[in-house]
Structures are given as C-alpha cells and as structure tokens.
Structure 1
Amino acid sequence: MILKSEELETMVGELPPVRRVGVIGVGAMGASIAHLTSSVGLETVIKVRARPGAIEQAWQTMRASYAREVEAGRASPAEAEAGLARLRITDDYAELGRAGCEIVIESVPEHLAIKHEVLQAVEAVTHDDCIFASNTSSLPIAWLARRSKRPDRVVGMHYFWPAHRQPLLEISALPDTAPEVLKRVRLLGRQQGRVELLVRDSPGFLTTRILMPYVSEAVLLVGQGVSVDQVDTALEAFGWRMGPFRLMDVAGIETVAYVHDCLRPFLGERIAGLERLWPLVRAGYVGRRVNAGFYTYGPEGRHPNPVAHDMLRTDAEVCAPEPDELVHRPVWMMVREAALCVAEGVVASWEEADVGANLGLGFPMSQGGLLAYRKRIGDAVMRRQFAAWERRYGPRFCL
C-alpha cells in the first residue's frame, strides 16, 4: 500500500518527528542511507566495525559522498557542512544507546547470521522502544525477528542505491508489528522525502523478487553465446539506464549470488541462471569494487571480461537465441514475476507493482513504465510467447 499524502499529513501532525537515527555499516548502501538521513536534518550515528582505521575511513567515505553532491550541484557547500556536522561515527554499539537512537537501520551483508548478530547487539544497548529496521533486499523480516527480544519492533526498510537520490522506500512489517512502529517508520520515510511502498513480508519482497528473474535470464543468454556487452547494449537501447551485467558489477556479483541462494527455494528454475555466478565469485571476479567482474575497469575505461564470459558459456547450450530475445526474455520474465507478486498479495495492485518497478528498479519510462508496457504488449501475446519458449528452453517459462 502506498501511503497517501493526506494520511501522511495526519500522521505528521500526530507524531513527534524522528530526531536520532543509527546506521550500521558504511558500505555503499549504508553510507548513502547515512547521507540521506543526515542531509534532512537528523542526528545520525554510524556504527562501523571495530578495526584500526575504520572510523577515519568512514569519515573519508562520508566526506567524499557529500563532496560529490556539491560538485554535481545537488547540494551547496553549506548544506554539505551541515550534513556532516550531524554525523557521529563510532565503533562501539553502546553509542547507539547513549545517543538515544529511536530507529537503527542495519545495512550489513545479506547473511542471516550476520544480521542476527547485529540485531542482538543493537537490542542489548538501546532502549526498549527503539525500532530495529533492516535494509535487507531479500531476507524475510520474520526470519530476522526470530532472534529478537522485541520482535514487534523489527521491520524492513529497503532503500535503493544511492539512497540519497533514489526516491523509493520499500517497507515490510509483520502481522504482530506494533501499529505505532509502522507509523514511526513511515514518518521517517516522510522526513527523508521517500515514496513509501508497503509490501507483504516475503522472500525478495517486490523489487528484488522481480529483478532476479530478469538478471538470471540475461546470464542464460550469455550461456547461449551472446556477449555480456551485447545483452547490456540491447537492454540499454530498450531504455534501462544500466544493463544487467553492469548493474551486477555495481551491486556486487557476490551479493547477487547470495540473494539467489536465499530466493532459489521459492522461485526455483526462474532464477536458475544465477547459480553460474558462484564460479566467478570464487575466482575473485565480484564486480566494480575490485575492478573486475563481467567487465574490467581501468584507466582506459570499461571492457568486457573474456574470462567471465567463458565461465558463463556452456557447451550444452548450442541453440542461439533470436535477436529479440535479448530484450524480451529478461524483461518479460520481470513482468511475469510482477504478475505473480500481485496475484500472491505481495503488493495490493498492479499500480503498486508499477511504482516499485519504476521508482525502485528504474523500469524505462521511455516504455511508459512496467504497467503501460505490459498493457501495450498484451497478456495474450506474452502467454503465446512463453508457451513457445517453454517448448524451446524448458519449464522456467511454464505459466
């Protein structure tokens, strides 16, 4: 459910504003959440791992984040200085309690054990009314809440990178979530200027769930002999700002592989192509962070990585795809997964799925967005094509 503006105005009038927020982790996602939160006037405590140099490194990350906004003209030097002044960086969990953090947002790797450890550490030092929010993109909040001593105060707040520029906030709660907790979380989203989308708690929620079949199908196209840059070029021509392989390089190939492992029991063959990422991860080809993934990155720019291509290619797949499949197979798998999310009640309507795909994933507005594209193609056309693909490629296209 998307929170309507009049509902937000009523809520803002009823509740005192959130003033202090904690953020666990200062990787790309955590840093952008902290940037967003401090930039809108909230005191923000960043908790980093206790290791030599971690606090100074975090300060460098945050200064660089604000400097990029100033350089791009999206913030003034005075605004950047004020945002940085609202930050506090620590390697001690207890500081979250001493600072009186009302909501703590974790942004650590997509490993349930790590998130449980963080949850328990936060609950040990914060007040009983503190809300624990997870930025997980795939793990159900119910799985996290099992280890909580305050499960009614555990929620999902899934931001999109970079959080200080991407407008969507995907919120998930449990049936037992305290009503005031959900209101408070929504209020924070309002203060941050986000568009809030309430989704049913389930593996992958909406956006990650519909993204994974899309990128899986792209991997399978490469398995058939198409190059990564051919797929990326075709989908960027369709209107995506970034093709699926460039996207995975930015997100981290290991992150996508871990999400696959979380979602595979639920999505089955629809994301089977992502199994092929693990050899790349084991070989160290994890993406932009190490300047080598599906592409290599250096002084001369970005170039396709032939080693990654060869690791995805399989001799068994000798059937070359039709040219239009480079776009239609990934995109139509996303549309089909969105239809399943609507049917299963992950979101309440196609309109809400449209908001999630367009604002969260950047579905091309040159195509009118997800819903307009689906209507233009037509369900009957898609059903006939899926039947043909099922005969050619197997059960992942079974409707």
Structure 2
Amino acid sequence: MVDLLKDLEFRGLINQVTDLEGLQKELEKGPITLYCGFDPTADSLHIGHLLTVLTLRRFQLAGNNPIALVGGATGLIGDPSGKKAERTLNETEIVVEWSNSIKRQLSQFLDFEGENKAKVVNNYDWTGNLDVITFLRDVGKNFGVNYMLAKDSVESRIQSGISFTEFSYMILQSNDFLNLYKNENCRLQIGGSDQWGNITAGLELIRKSTDEEAKAYGFTIPLVTKADGTKFGKSEGGAIWLDAEKTSPYEFYQFLINTDDKDVVKFLKYFTFLSPEEIEALAAEVEEAPEKRTAQKRLAEEVTKLVHGEEALQQAIRISEALFSGDIQNLSAAEIKQGFKDVPSYECKQDEISLLDLLVESKISPSKRQAREDISNGAIYINGERTTELDRVVAAEDRIEGQFTIIRRGKKKYYLIKY
C-alpha cells in the first residue's frame, strides 16, 4: 500500500500537522477515523472545497474511515476564519435545504459501502437541542478568552469587529471534534489552512474533557492559490461550482483546461489520482512542449470526469472541439445550451425570416448595408456553414432540434438565435 503521508507530501497537501510523527505511528497501527467539516454557506460546494473532499478520499483509499460533517448548526452561526466582516445569517429552512444538498454532493466522492465505509453527519443533531446553560458550563468553561483572542481567525477581526456569535464559532466546532472523538473514535480532523485555530482549539477541548492519554491530531491543507497569487476557484462569472446546474460541465472543463503552465503540475498533484510517475511525465511535457497543453487536457479530463462523470466529460469535449473547429451541426440542443450560455442571444418570433433582416434585428450587423457586406464577404455562418446568398431565408430546417440557430460573424463572434 502507498505510504499515505509520503503521497500527501509529494502532492504538497501537508500544510500543518499537530504531531506528524505521532500521526504516522497511528496510521501504521491500523485504520483511523477522521473528519472534515463543510458549512452550508450556499446550496453547492465549489471547486475550492474539492481539495479537502479529495483529501478525505485519499485517506479512505488508504484504508481509513472518513466522516464528512455538514455544518447544519455551525452554518447558522458563521465562521469568522478568513473573513473580513460578519457573514449574513441565513434562515434555518435555507440552511437545512443547503445542508441536504451538500450531503448529496459529498456522497458522490466518498465510498459508503465496504469495510472502511464513509459517513455523513450533521452537527445540528447534537447541537440543535443543546441548552445555553449546559453549553456554557460543560463546553464554554474550557476556553479562556485570552486563548481565543490569540487565534488568527479572531485576532484578524478585532479591529474591524466581531460579534459574540462568530466569536463563539470556535467553541462550537471544538465541540464537534469532542463529540466525534467520544462517539465515533474520531482521532483526526482535517481542514483548510484557515481552520488551524479551530482545529487546535478542538484538540485542547478533547484534552481537557477526557483523560490525559487522549490522542487526537489536527491536519491542514494549503490554501489553493495560483502562480499570480490570486485565490483559485473563481472565473469571470464567479465561483466554479460542483453543481452542474450552477457551473455546467463544459464551463468546468474550460476553467481547468485554461490553467496556467505555472500551475498545472501543482493542480495535477492536488486534484487527480494520477501516480507520481504519470504526473512527472506530464510535467516534462509542460517543459518540452507547452504549446500542446497535454497536462491541461489531462487535468480537465480527470477532474471533470471525477465531478460530473464520463458522459458529461465527453459532452464537454464535444462542445469544445465543435467551437474550436466551427463545426457545430452535430451538437445537441442540450450541448448548445451549455456551450453558448454566455454568447449574445436573440429570440426570433417568426417562422421564416430573411437573413438580412435577422442580422439587423438581432444586432449581429449594425445596419442592412453592413449585413449585405458581411454576407457578400463570406463572414456569416449559419450552424457552422458559410453562406454568401443575399436572399437567404432562415427557416425551420435551420433550427437545431427546433430550438436554436447558431450564427457566427467572422472567426469568433457567435450569436444564439432562440425560437
């Protein structure tokens, strides 16, 4: 079996560990139970969450038992870690709905069958009915205010302001670790680098609330940044979501295939399960023939398949190839919806319309004179086919699945005609 910590080190996934040597010995003794928390701050996880999800999966593949914790309770409070201002608190019904959605997403990355099956838990189950007196006496009394003020997540907010609600987040998360330690024999919590303060606070609570021999560990993963120093996971349209309804498989694939040469090897290590030998071979390709973008294609294929499945990957590749070549006649209406989501569109209410009128009405060409010139010069394509006929009529036979006509002006400017 692959040495798990050695593999994590090769992939650059070890940021901080409370006791690396002790954790190594625990892993050598046999399987351990570990957890990572995911607060429902939206109805979907995004690509930034993927690294911690996949790290849980790496631990599971090495024989350990992962627990994915959905923060139904902590999601109602708001984690101050890495935030410059207070979060907007969401209604309970929304957090419940988002929690269920995230639970479904986590289920696709972890194995819930077999010997070391994964579990999904919700911290609302043990926090929701906890009364304030019990919480303050049994949990809160273990935390000194000075200890909490020294944590980065709190200290960074002292000047701008932090409410008691967010200040108490650390205690709630610590109580999660204690609960799982007692009830699930969970010995390790993993999280992003911004969770270090919360994780170590949990270890402190376990130490104070159990016997002196209590053995638990904290492990953080680096924050994913790009070579230019910016945070990974955002595009011009916003976050890259794991939900296909929010970020289509084609958009997801395109985001990854456009990865900078300086980042692609790091992301192959982070987000794929390719062997070190395969990754090193792709790294050599980046050095020797960067123009082929072999590493980017492999990254996009591996991660899109992992998140959306083989069929969605092939669909994303088909759309990409069709847009590159201009041959779009064989795309389905569903594929056109994905690939042309962000291009200018026009709703045509006529069964038949002259091409000249359509170009002007949809503002593809600014005037009839320009439209005539564009057609005569061969700059206009209907569903990928050039047309130079000034009297051309766009009719039902020009619609893909009766829904769309794609008009291209010049090499790159696409327009979507809807019916």
| TM-score, reference length from structure 1 | 0.30
Larger Rg: 2
| TM-score, reference length from structure 2 | 0.29
More helix, by proportion: 1
